Amino acid sequence: MKLFDLFESATKSPIVFSFSNCNPPHAGHLGLVKFIVDTANQNSADWCIYLSESVGVMLPDQKVEWLVAWCEAAGISAKGHIHHVPKIHQSAIDLYQKGYRSAIFVAGEGDFSKYYQIIKRSNQYNAANVDPNDPKYFYFDELRGRENTASEGGAGRITSGTSVRTAAQQVANEADTDQKNSATNIFWKAASAGNKDLAKTMSKIKIGGKGYLQTILDGLQSGAKINRSGNKKAVT
């Protein structure tokens, strides 16, 4: 059976998807998720988020599990919608192989222009130069993009992975109990973007026997860094 035979029953609904590092997942990503869900609802579409497999303070499976946990804590049903892939192209390949032919790519501030252009250029190139029977082939006959910014109706960037990692490192650095407790409060303020109820909920959740903060602290302890050119050490 040829690959195109598998795609004859391609779904007619569009897909809204995104690609992100999430190092680590935090409340700031909820703005992106909500923007994706709203975009999907507006277009009668399905939605999916792909996380990169570059290693930071969490392993790929942990990133997926904790982003789902943040979503669930915020009242967003995300199970089955979030996955990880080696590279951004694999997200498009995966969706194409699932039968999607119309797509809207969404990303947050700072990521959109980079990631959308990668998908857009590959989509154009594949249409003219790649055999549809190639297992790495994908092509969306309609491909649009949206950036999660206030001008587009999104939340924009409300906190960052850098601030969360920095706050976690400060917790790890403190030996005095009172100072550690103070640093922990600052950490949860950063991770939850100041949402006390969300922070309280997330602080009670454990995945693999560990809480969110402890998972990040373990990642920092192991010397975890984003697995990009120029970094010498990464979690394996």
pTM > 0.85: yes
Which residue is it, tokens 């959308």? 116
* DSSP structure string for 130-197: S-TTSTT----SEEEEEEESGGGTS---SS-HHHHHHHHHHHHH--SHHHHHHHHHHHHHHHTTT-HH
Alpha carbons within 13 A on the beta-carbon side of 81:
23
Q: What is the pLDDT along the chain (236 residues), one digit of tens a residue?
A: 344 444 445 567 899 999 999 989 999 999 999 999 999 999 999 999 999 998 789 999 999 999 999 999 999 999 999 999 999 999 999 999 999 999 999 998 888 999 999 999 999 999 999 999 999 999 999 999 999 987 777 666 677 889 999 999 999 999 999 999 999 999 999 999 999 999 999 999 999 999 999 999 999 988 655 444 444 333 32
CATH fold for the domain made of 13-152: Rossmann fold (3.40.50)
CATH 3.40.50.620 positions along the chain are 13-152
Classify each residue of 154-192 as buried b or exposed e, where b means 16 or more C-beta atoms within 10 Å of its C-beta.
Answer: bbbbebebebbbebbbbbeeeeeeeeeeebbebbbbbbb
